Structure 1
Amino acid sequence: MSVFFSSHRLQVLITGVLCALLNTSCASPAPEAAFVLPGIGPDSVVEVAAGPQYARGRVYKFFWGRHYRKEWATPVPVRVFNLSTVVPGGLTPVQAGGSFQTKNLRLKDRNGVEYVLRSVDKDATKALPARLQKGPIGRLMKDQTSVIHPYGAFIVPVLAEAAGVYHTNPILGYLSDDPALGKFRKDYANALYLLEERPDGDQSTVRSFGQSARVESSRKVFTNLIASARYRVDARQYLRSRLFDMWLGDWSRREDQWRWASFPSADSSTRYQAIPRDRDHAFFKFDDGLLTHLIGWVKTNYQSFHKNIRLADVEGLNRAARPMDKSLLVYLSEKDFQEIADSLRQRLTDDVIRRSLQVWTPEIYALSGEEFTEKLRSRRDQLPAVAAKFYSLLARDIEIPGTDEPERFVVEPAGVGQVRVSVYRLIQKQAPTLIDQRVFNARDTRSIKLFGLGGNDVFEINGLPDARIAIHLYDGAGQDTIRQQLPQSTTSNRITLYNSNDGNIVKVGKAIKVKDYQPAANEFDGTGWLLRHRLY
């Protein structure tokens, strides 16, 4: 996702102001380095600066931020990748790709195992219309690559291993004009890359992917989650990964930033565990310039990596992942959040932080080592408070999706101010099987939405729930049944059935309001749920 993908109109205005104040800031930046180094051998080491073009003067930095400009402009010794020898048997390029910012090249070894080269330098201007890419706005967007630490991704594996979070294992290298690039030679030669395993397919030999024999995409996993309750995500493991994201300040955790290790069971069910990938926005440093600070007020998801995680910033920090968080963490309690936060705080010791930063060269450590040590220690100690805030944000308005199979949703009082929701899988000629349940408290939760999605579902209201929590029943596709165990005279204005008139059996008393409903595309059936998760 582009750093300024949704705010370039704001930058047009700001650029005009800045150009009037500072004409030099609108000039073209220094040309990007073209590191053409002929005659490099397979085991060579060269000194390369990741982005000397991001060096700027004091006035420019006052407006547009200091960021990590020194780290980008400092030459470091780098291994030269030779695709024929970088792994036994060599690597063969098979497919070019990338996002709005990162240039990727997929490669395979002789056994079919896939790797990916990801450019260290980024180019967010691709998110702009072509007419803006070469102008002041495009140049400013390109310059803001300096908000990312060029070597931040390389400290993550040691930290993730200690935290109990899956991770890739990137290696830094320089790719020269290697003939093994073939048709990709023109676009990919002479640049700095990180090389890492591609989390996909059979990863049974990769411990940092859980040694799963089948790693799958988010689109595939969410399609399965909607199809049947036989597919479940390990919610505690996913929460561990999400709190780890917050510790790193990684705010860009949308659905495509994940892969999933699958673990089939003897009962034909499958459990998924999260594999985070693409740490481009970890350790983000954005708000240290006058104008970038102002933009940060508007784009509150652009969270900078500070010593303290302000609780008021937790919502913005997690906005990109909010649809996933609401679905996948819905059955976890406040106790679960605190247990995992406490576990992370204990695992991420000062020694772990020290060892992680030792992967940097002395040149980079001299610039960033002390700063990162202080910030990582401080943010670690705040994890319990951050987890409590994260829980409260998710608990406010609950959404519980079913699947395209038949389910039974049971809503009932569970004590003063408490409502229990239980969801069962309905299988012909078998007793209903509990999928999961949770007790919600009115002090945390103001509404609960139950989505039947597909299948002939059953919604049961057994006793009048606490009126402080609004209950919304969305029938979805299929012919659904509504049951209630309440006296006919009972009244309530807090339980609503949204009926799409799809042949449902609706016989309810005064306690349940019925509203005819034309569902939005992203809240009705399984396909709509994929739309909600941006996986169409």
Structure 2
Amino acid sequence: MSFFQVEWSPAIVSSALVGGLLLGSCSAPAAPAAGPPPTIGPDSTVRVAAGPQYLRGPVHRFFWGKHYRQLWAVPIDAPVFNLRTAVPGGLTPVREGGSFQTKNLRLLDRNGVQYVLRSVDKDATKALPEGLRDGAIGRLMKDQTSVINPYGAYIVAPLAAAAGVYHTNPRLVYVADDPALGEFRQTFANALYLFEERPEGDQSAVSSFGRSAKVESSRKVFSNLVYNQQHRIDARWYLRARLFDMWLGDWSRREDQWRWASFPAAGGSTVYRAIPRDRDHAFFKFDDGLITHIIGWVKSNYQSFHQKIRLADVEGLNRAARPMDKSLLTYLTAQDFQQVADSMQRSLSDPVIHNALALWPKEVYAQAGAEFDENLRGRRDQLDEVAAKFYELLARDIELPGTDQSERFVIEPTGPGLVRVSQYGLHAGRPDSLVGQRTFDYRQTRSIKVFGLGGNDVFELRGLPDHRFSIGIYDGAGQDVVTLKTEGSAAKAATSVTVYDSGDGNTITVAKPVKVESYVPAATEFDAAGWLLRHRLF
């Protein structure tokens, strides 16, 4: 999902309007008319700049930022893309796609394997009402494409491989006016693109997708997770990918920015590993103009790629992915976070960084290589601190979802200021299976909410948790059982446990001080379908 589509619209458009009114002379001029495309043939190269129209004068840069304007304007040599020879048997264009920002062309090879051409240049103005696209606001929005490094995605693949993160393998290409484009010729000809595999379906031949025979969308995977206990996420793998996002400064990590490699596991279950995609906003540079700096201060998720990640900004940097993080990292401990961060720091050595940057066209490396080398090394050295802060933010308020199958949740104090929550799958005729377990410390965690969702669930309180935890039990759909097992004077202890009873036939056997409250469940609390609303996937 596009940065301009989702995140910019209210803040940037209004700011652009104000800026356009107050600074009329600074508004982005219309792009210069493009010259005729070069005459070229297949299997050749062309010298071309990604976006010379983003060059601006000093006054405009003062207010609206330097960004990556110089990189957009530098000419580089790019190979001409040949649909007939790009892969054995050639490629057939089948479908135009993309968001409000990026223009995509989906391609199929002779075996039905999917590839995609993704435009290097962007056009955010499609998110605007038609009447605003050609005016000052539209020009300013288009101008801010310069916050994106046009060649950023090009170096992510070798860095991801070193970090142990799945990745696409983009190649920078120039698409000429090729008759093989067919009906898409007029729209896609004469521009720079990234050509890469599309992570979907059978990818057993692609090592950077784990050679998974079944790569699936976030909608499919998250549906499986909340409907069926047999499906689970490799949480440490996902955490590694998320720390990698932060290292790159890639804050636009919503659910649709991911695909999932599936693997069969013991007992007929399925394990999913994350495949990040769409690195348009890696290395984002936004805060180097007066107005954009003010906007970035207000909208803390607009993080710029500097040598240091400010720990105070870690929350904003991860805002787009927060619903996913809260669901998928629930049972990982602080030690897990530190171990993953330490491993990544060792993997992302100085030579790894240098060799990745050396893949850039020489003109790009000459302009940005030294800065990026310094920034990537500085941010790498912070990963342990960033991981600790990330854990701290997620640990404050915990949400533990069940599935639409039957579960048993056991909540028990394990010492002063400590409470352990265990989640089991219930199975007829065989022992319960442990889904996840974690001990929480009141010094890190202030609230824990347990959602049974569908199925006939059991919530078992084995004693009264420390009153410094606020614990909520949400029954969801199904006829659930809630019990409190305690002895003697322990029943008189102070606690902050509330059972939220939707009144659909539950059996609740608890004594004071546990509170029972009637409530009307929100859609996001009641069942699997509702839970998907938290992830914008239903």
Q: Same fold (TM over 0.5)?
A: yes
**Residues 370-419 of structure 1, C-alpha deviations (whole Å, 9 max, x = no match):** 00000000000000000000000000000010011000000001112110
1:332 paired with 2:342, answer no
- Equivalent position of 1:115 in the other structure: 115
- Equivalent position of 2:502 in the other structure: 500
**Residues 98-133 of structure 1, C-alpha deviations (whole Å, 9 max, x = no match):** 012111111000111110010000111122222222
Q: Distance in 2 between matches of 1:484 and 1:55?
A: 68
Deviates more, 1:506-515 or 1:313-322: 506-515
* 1:269-308 paired onto structure 2 within 5 Å: 269-308=269-308
- Equivalent position of 1:51 in the other structure: 51
**Partners of 1:35 and 1:191 within 8 A in 2:** no
**Partners of 1:2 and 1:127 within 8 A in 2:** no
- Equivalent position of 2:177 in the other structure: 177
Q: 1:6 offset after TM fit, Å? A: 4.4
SS of alignment partner, residue 465 of structure 1: coil
Amino acid aligned to 2:258: W
SS of alignment partner, residue 492 of structure 2: coil
Q: Distance in 2 between matches of 1:176 and 1:351?
A: 36
Q: Distance in 2 between matches of 1:381 and 1:284?
A: 19
**Partners of 1:154 and 1:171 within 8 A in 2:** yes
Distance 1:164 1:452, change over 3 A: same
Deviates more, 1:125-134 or 1:451-460: 125-134
Amino acid aligned to 2:161: E
Amino acid aligned to 1:158: P
Amino acid aligned to 1:518: V
SS of alignment partner, residue 414 of structure 1: strand
**Partners of 2:261 and 2:273 within 8 A in 1:** yes
Distance 1:20 1:235, change over 3 A: closer
**Residues 206-253 of structure 1, C-alpha deviations (whole Å, 9 max, x = no match):** 000000000000000000001111101000011000000000000001
- Equivalent position of 1:527 in the other structure: 529
Q: Share of identical aligned residues, percent?
A: 66
* 1:154-233 paired onto structure 2 within 5 Å: 154-233=154-233
- Equivalent position of 1:376 in the other structure: 376
**Partners of 1:68 and 1:147 within 8 A in 2:** yes
* 1:345-494 paired onto structure 2 within 5 Å: 345-487=345-487, 489-490=491-492, 492-494=494-496
Q: 1:431 offset after TM fit, Å? A: 1.3
**Residues 162-194 of structure 1, C-alpha deviations (whole Å, 9 max, x = no match):** 100000000001111111111111211111100
Q: Distance in 1 between matches of 2:57 and 2:333?
A: 50
- Equivalent position of 2:4 in the other structure: 3
Amino acid aligned to 2:4: V
**Partners of 1:45 and 1:77 within 8 A in 2:** yes
Q: Distance in 1 between matches of 2:334 and 2:319?
A: 20
Q: TM-score by structure 2 length?
A: 0.97
SS of alignment partner, residue 438 of structure 2: strand
Segments of structure 2 that go 5 or more residues without pairing to the other structure are none
Q: Distance in 2 between matches of 1:285 and 1:93?
A: 33
1:512 paired with 2:496, answer no
Distance 1:322 1:13, change over 3 A: closer
Q: Distance in 2 between matches of 1:506 and 1:515?
A: 11
**Partners of 1:32 and 1:53 within 8 A in 2:** no
SS of alignment partner, residue 466 of structure 1: coil
Q: Distance in 1 between matches of 2:460 and 2:131?
A: 57
- Equivalent position of 1:126 in the other structure: 126
Q: 1:26 offset after TM fit, Å? A: 2.9
Distance 1:509 1:51, change over 3 A: same
Distance 1:251 1:12, change over 3 A: closer
CA RMSD in angstroms, aligned pairs only: 1.5
SS of alignment partner, residue 506 of structure 1: strand
Distance 1:336 1:260, change over 3 A: same
Q: Distance in 2 between matches of 1:304 and 1:338?
A: 24
Distance 1:484 1:35, change over 3 A: farther
Distance 1:437 1:166, change over 3 A: same
Q: Distance in 2 between matches of 1:32 and 1:281?
A: 27
SS of alignment partner, residue 284 of structure 1: coil
Q: Distance in 1 between matches of 2:230 and 2:16?
A: 53
Q: 1:435 offset after TM fit, Å? A: 1.0
Q: Distance in 1 between matches of 2:275 and 2:137?
A: 35
Q: Distance in 2 between matches of 1:230 and 1:417?
A: 33
Q: Distance in 2 between matches of 1:320 and 1:178?
A: 38
- Equivalent position of 2:27 in the other structure: 26
Distance 1:52 1:426, change over 3 A: same
**Partners of 1:98 and 1:104 within 8 A in 2:** yes
Q: Distance in 2 between matches of 1:411 and 1:256?
A: 34
* 1:59-74 paired onto structure 2 within 5 Å: 59-74=59-74
Q: Distance in 2 between matches of 1:6 and 1:247?
A: 21
SS of alignment partner, residue 268 of structure 2: coil
Q: Distance in 2 between matches of 1:232 and 1:62?
A: 49
Q: TM-score by structure 1 length?
A: 0.97
Q: Distance in 2 between matches of 1:6 and 1:343?
A: 33
Amino acid aligned to 2:165: V
Q: Distance in 2 between matches of 1:35 and 1:443?
A: 65
Moved over 6 A (4+): none
**Partners of 1:4 and 1:141 within 8 A in 2:** no
Q: 1:263 offset after TM fit, Å? A: 0.3
Amino acid aligned to 1:31: P
**Residues 257-303 of structure 1, C-alpha deviations (whole Å, 9 max, x = no match):** 00000001241100000000000110000000000000011211000
Distance 1:421 1:19, change over 3 A: closer
* Number of equivalenced pairs: 535
- Equivalent position of 1:86 in the other structure: 86
Amino acid aligned to 1:245: D
Amino acid aligned to 1:305: F
**Partners of 2:4 and 2:100 within 8 A in 1:** no
**Partners of 1:216 and 1:262 within 8 A in 2:** yes
Q: Distance in 2 between matches of 1:32 and 1:2?
A: 27
Q: Distance in 1 between matches of 2:162 and 2:419?
A: 37
Distance 1:457 1:16, change over 3 A: closer
Q: 1:345 offset after TM fit, Å? A: 0.6
SS of alignment partner, residue 388 of structure 1: helix
**Partners of 2:3 and 2:252 within 8 A in 1:** no
Q: Distance in 1 between matches of 2:211 and 2:376?
A: 29
**Partners of 1:323 and 1:532 within 8 A in 2:** yes
**Partners of 2:464 and 2:495 within 8 A in 1:** no
Q: 1:10 offset after TM fit, Å? A: 4.2
Q: Distance in 2 between matches of 1:391 and 1:151?
A: 31
SS of alignment partner, residue 79 of structure 2: strand
Q: 1:511 offset after TM fit, Å? A: 2.6
